Chains A and B, each alone.
Chain A
Amino acid sequence: MLVSMLAIEARNSFFLASSLQLPASIRVSRTTNVLLHFHFSSLRQMNFALKFATLEISRRAIRLAKKKGRFLTGLISVVFTTSLLIVAGCDGSASVEEPNEMVLRHVLYTRIKGLDPGNMRDVYSVIVGSQIFESLYQYHFLKRPYELVPLLAEDMPQISEDLLTYTIRIKKGVYFQDDRCFTGGKGRELKAEDFVFSLKRVADIKYLSQNWSIFDNKIVGLDEFREYTKNCSSAEDVDYSRQVEGLTAPDDYTLVIKLKKPPQDGQAHWPQLCTALADISTAPVAKEAVDYYGKDIISHPVGTGPFKLNVWRRGSYIELVRNPAFRGELYPSEGEDGDAEAGYLDDAGKPIPFADRVLWTIINERQPAWLLFLQGKVDATVIPKDSFDEVMTGTGELTPEMKQRNIRLKTFRDPSTYWVGFNMADDVLSRNKPLRRAISYAIDREKFIELFFNNRHLVAHGLIPPVMPSYNPGIKEKGYTRYDPEKAKELLKEAEKIHGGTLPRLKIAMPGTDTWYRQFGQFLKRNLDTVGLEVEMQYMDRPTYQERVNTKSAQMFSSGTSASIPDAQDFLSMFYSKYQTPGRNKFNYSNPDFDRLYEKAQVLPDSGERRRLYQRMELIALEDCPAALLNHRVAYVLHHDWYKNYKQHAFAYGLSKYRRIDMAKRTAYKN
């Protein structure tokens, strides 16, 4: 790629030179036009086009100056255009790679927003940020079911008898990366006070963190601190030394967090505190960095992690390099069954990170990313839908071509569920359970998965996906999502009686207008046509769709969600009546029994009892049928065989430190 860039550059300089020598202005501008046209084919090349445009302008300016004798005007124009030319010349070509450096090469499908952990919500920023910042806890890389282990904390927290006070000891000898915001440019040691500062910062309303909802009404005194910041006139006026009772640092290496007592409706007690402390939004940031960089901190991350930011060209690429001040960590030496055979334990006990640099190229289209992968310039990729047959045979194996390239396939059960939701605030649907069930019985999910996911996904028999600890293995026998068109027809007759006449044409909102959604829509329509139910598919762009769903004006809608923590809460909170739209409960579902169990389960620590409550709640929801569940996703990823320790993880992002490249194999790869 670099070579071709250079070639283009050389070609352009040639054209630059030749167009300078052409005396007739018409000929020059024609050449320029042709070149402009030619070069607009790609955004990067627009840069060159700009050069020609500026050249043309400057040439005309000189001519004008000569003709009219307006020397000064001409001079100014020339200076201006020359500076434009220089600006246009600065383009983001990647720095040259050392031959023996271990570089992880990834693709990001969209540009990232910012690298400030306190205000980071989009998944791509989290992917990059998690290599730079660390939180108190992390998920064990290899063990399944998912397990939390200490990262910046010394050990798991000591929890008081009443489950309200968490005392967390913090590792000694953790240093922030070297940065000019510290005196002398040398990173200082991490203290418990940094955590207090970072959490207060999220609470600070002047900072406008998107992560506040995680801590809302949970920690003693933090909500009052937020109230106080409302009254401050500006962000600079907020006094971070102000005490928050539930957030203290008795000494440099101890952090104490006090949770609010559960009030009557049981809304505040928070057994998932530790999972929140594994989230990047709780990663400590240095006060020095916040003060020094101000608003610019989103592009100047100062963390404690194994990598630090080297270059970030927005819209082009991001490069991290190994953080020399990193305290060091060891590769885990135990995992789940089969990890040793899969080679995940080959590096057990070795110091991490392995890689010297991590590079993300930003490529918006899947197809070019796929081609880069085939060329060996990217280590791993998802399979683009369109290239599925190029990669896989009908039996679910890699094609010989892929095998010959030593490409490996990983399947991974994503903790996600997809459905066609019913709006329970809609008159027709809400009082007609047989209608909702008929729709659910009318959908042939196996056919759906066969046609649209190449048989990859799993049929959703229940709400909670099989990888979750609270999955109910007996849910399939309940038959809530079986395909039974005859039963559906019977139920429809019943539904007509309840409705008091012929059913109106139902409308299903689809969050996209492309082929995939259109075919999916046709599939649903055909299924429902078969049982004699008329529906209208409404294809719309995502903002319109979200607006319709959030204003309760979509009758039925296609959507889905995946878990962000290893707990089924993400799936069940969608049916809690207090979270109705615009909250998470897009179904506007409400059932007092469900609510009671939800409130009861919310304050329980993860235990058998909590899981049993989850399963009961799941059954209540399925019985009421607020959604026709469709499928659980199974992700397929491909990687080159030089990319080691590439075990999939549903919840953790800071995994680049575990990855290793087999340099000999990479060098030997021929595309």
Chain B
Amino acid sequence: MSEHQQIMKEVPQPVPKGRLRRAQSSRSLWADGLRRLRRHKLAMVCSAVIVLYFLLAGSIHLAELCGWRVGPMLWAEQVGQSYEPPSSTNLLGTDIFGQSVLRKTLYGAKISITVVLCASLVSIAIGVPLGAVAGYFRGFVDEIIVWIYSTLSSIPYILLILAFAVVLRDKSLLGYKLTGITAVYLAIGLTSWVGICRLIRGEVIKHKDREYVLAAMSYGCSRRRIIFKHLLPNVFHLVIIDFSLRFVAFIHAEVILSFLGLGEADRPSWGAMINDARIELSRGVWWQMVAATAAIFLLSLALNIFGDALRDSLDPKLTNDQNKYE
């Protein structure tokens, strides 16, 4: 019995009549998961929030490309005196140079989300193939890879990121100069692939002896085909779940790096805003801190809830509450 069928057996079948036929017809793991996810109201609200954030970041990128001068793009404009508290004209007050904190916060979404996406891609690109190869081949290859990631994970995470960010700063890679923000997402990506690598390795080891892999082997498929065509698609939902949960950690890493002065120097980011606020708080200027943390809080919360729901619906065996989705 394939794993999929096993899952289907464990999950209680839907009761409503209209959907009976659809339920009985075979659904892919993904369609099944999405169907379950769609019933989770809170998760859908969260996904809307996430989409909004992404749209915001995307439109800022677009506006920058096209040179539009609207909304958050005008963050550098002086809209009032320095350190004006929130009022009806400046909803979230102003910073040291009289810039609108609201605009800075919106603009900050671009930096954070870009960093997170790029860093995730880097870490997935490293972690997933390494994990799959280690899990499939075992033996010497496995030992080397495990040794590498064990070593890497034994170094405190923040120190490692800092070291990478410092080393990568102002270096050039393939003729492209790594400025502040590029160095940041490379640093985060290069240091954070251990978790996903471990996860995929474990899962591949588990799947290796399953019937569908044995079947592929008996057909004489090449190893590459088995790993990338058969094994990876069956464990890839883990990558998505991991990504959605790790998203928050990446945002925090960006914030911490900016806070330590290694991030974006000239343009606003949430980390830089919090860093500024550290000094300003003692003079009673709380609005920059509140604006940046609220932005991070909302996105983190949405991502966490959505990530949990996604995990539960894609991997129902893991759920804490079996009856939650049916």
B261 and A519: CB pair below 8 A?
no
List of A residues within 8 angstroms of B265 by Cβ: 518, 521, 537, 539
CA distance A521 to B96 in the complex (A): 13
- Complex Cα distance, B284 from A345, in Å, reads 41
Assembly CA distance A535 to B282 (angstroms): 31
| A514 within 8 A of partner (CB) | yes
Question: Which stretch of B46-54, B183-191, B270-278, B307-315 is in the interface?
Answer: B270-278
Q: With CB as the reference atom, state the residue of chain B lying closest to A536.
A: B266
B97 part of interface (Cβ distance < 8 Å): yes
Across the interface, do A519 and B282 meet the contact criterion of CB distance under 8 Å? no
- Given the complex of chains A and B, what is the CA–CA distance between A387 and B279 in angstroms? 9
Q: How far, in angstroms, from A531 to B59 measured CA to CA in the complex? A: 30
User: Which residues of A lie under 8 Å from residue B272 when comparing CB positions?
Assistant: 518
Compute how far the CA of A630 lies from the CA of B265 in the bound complex, rounded to whole angstroms. 23
Q: Give the interface size class of chain A.
A: 20 to 34
A519 to B288, CA, bound (A): 14
Q: How far is the CA of A537 from the CA of B276 in the complex (A)?
A: 17
How many pairs, one residue from A and one from B, have CB atoms within 8 Å of each other in the complex?
Answer: 40
B71-112: which residues lie under 8 A (CB-CB) from chain A? Answer: 76, 82, 96-97
CB distance from B292 to the nearest CB of A (A): 14
Q: Are B261 and A513 in contact (CB under 8 A)?
A: yes
Residues from chain B with a CB closer than 8 A to the CB of A385 are 279
- For the complex, is B262 an interface residue (Cβ under 8 Å from A)? yes
**What's the tally of chain B residues with a CB closer than 8 Å to chain A?**
16
Main secondary structure of the interface of A (DSSP, over half): helix
Q: In the bound complex, how far is the Cα of B261 from the Cα of A522, in angstroms?
A: 14
Whether the Cβ atoms of B283 and A519 lie closer than 8 Å is: no
CA distance A385 to B278 in the complex (A): 11
Given contacts A387-B282, A515-B279, contact A525 B266 (CB under 8 A): yes
Q: Which residues in chain B, 244-282, are within 8 Å of chain A measured between CB atoms?
A: 261-262, 265-266, 272, 275-276, 278-279, 282
A 526-549 binary contact with B (CB < 8 Å = 1; else 0): 100000000001010000000000
In the complex, are the beta carbons of A519 and B262 less than 8 A apart? Answer: no
Task: Give which listed residue, A387, A388, A390, A537, contacts B266 with CB less than 8 A.
Answer: A537
Binary flags per residue of A483-526, CB closer than 8 Å to B gives 1, else 0:
00000000000000000000000000000011110110111011
Chain A: CB-nearest residue to B83: A451
> Within the assembled complex, what's the spacing in Å between the Cα atoms of A430 and B76?
31
Digit string of A618-651 for contact with B (CB within 8 Å is 1, else 0)? 0000000000000000000000000000000000
When A515-B276, A518-B261, A521-B265 are in contact, do A526 and B97 touch as well, CB less than 8 Å?
yes
Give the CA-CA distance A389 to B282 in the complex, in Å. Answer: 7
Task: Please tell me if A265 contacts chain B, counting CB pairs below 8 Å.
Answer: no
A386 pairs with B284, CB closer than 8 A: no
What's the least CB distance linking B228 to chain A, in Å? Answer: 41
Q: Chain B residues near A525 (CB, 8 Å)?
A: 266
Note all chain A residues with C-beta closer than 8 A to B275. Answer: 515
Contacts A386-B279, A387-B282, A526-B97 given; indicate if A515 touches B261 (C-beta within 8 A): yes
| Contact present for B96 and A519 (CB under 8 Å) | yes
Query: What is the distance, in angstroms, from A386's C-beta to the closest C-beta of chain B?
Result: 5
* Closest chain B residue, CB of each to CB of A523: B97
Q: A515-B275, A523-B97 are in contact. List 7 more A-B contacts (CB 8 A).
A: A386-B278, A388-B283, A389-B283, A515-B261, A515-B276, A526-B76, A526-B97
Q: List 21 A-B contacts (CB under 8 A).
A: A386-B279, A386-B282, A388-B282, A389-B282, A389-B283, A390-B282, A451-B82, A451-B96, A451-B97, A513-B261, A513-B262, A515-B261, A515-B276, A518-B261, A518-B265, A519-B276, A521-B266, A525-B266, A526-B76, A539-B261, A539-B265
